[in-house]
Structures are given as structure tokens and as C-alpha cells.
């Protein structure tokens, strides 16, 4: 698809540059969180899949953390709720 001298690869490079420019302006965790909230679900799922690589976390480590979560469910009760804010 060509429109004059503007090819689809040029458009793609322009789009990538625009996205990288927006990301470069996002610097705080709060801004990053807000940017993620504005993504559509498909992009959020892709980010969730790719995030460990960006954070330099091994996929196995993420898997182990997910596997360990149910072991702490017994603390999820009203008596221990006082400790939820620590």
C-alpha cells in the first residue's frame, strides 16, 4: 500500500517512533500504571506476557511465585486482616 512517497514501512516506523516517544515520557510507576489502564485488553495481555523480559525476571521465577500464592490463602481471613496494611 503506497500513497505517494509514503510506504507502509515508513508509516510503521513513524508509529513505532510515536509509541516510543509516549513511553519515554512515562517515568513514574503511577504514570506507567495509568498508561496500562488505558490499553485495550489485547495489549494488556501482550504486556503481561512480555513484562518479565522487560523487568529482567526469569519466566520460571514468575511461575514459582504464581504456584506459591495458594499456600498463603489461609492468612486471608478476618482475624489476620489487621496485618493486610503492613
Read off the pTM.
Answer: 0.40
Percent with pLDDT over 70 in the chain = 71
Residue 8 pLDDT > 80: no
Whether pLDDT at 46 is above 80: yes
Burial 37-68 (b: 16+ CB within 10 A, else e): eeeeeeeeeeeeeeeeeeeeeeeeeeeeeeee
Q: What is the pLDDT of residue 22?
A: 66
User: What CA–CA distance (Å, rounded) separates 25 from 32?
Assistant: 10
Amino acid at each position: 500500500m503506497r500513497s505517494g512517497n509514503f510506504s507502509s514501512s515508513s508509516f510503521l516506523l513513524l508509529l513505532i517512533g510515536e509509541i516510543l516517544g509516549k513511553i519515554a515520557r512515562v517515568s513514574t510507576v503511577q504514570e506507567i500504571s495509568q498508561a496500562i489502564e488505558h490499553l485495550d485488553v489485547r495489549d494488556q495481555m501482550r504486556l503481561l506476557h512480555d513484562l518479565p523480559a522487560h523487568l529482567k525476571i526469569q519466566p520460571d521465577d514468575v511461575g514459582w511465585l504464581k504456584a506459591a500464592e495458594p499456600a498463603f490463602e489461609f492468612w486471608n481471613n478476618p482475624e489476620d486482616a489487621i496485618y493486610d496494611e503492613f
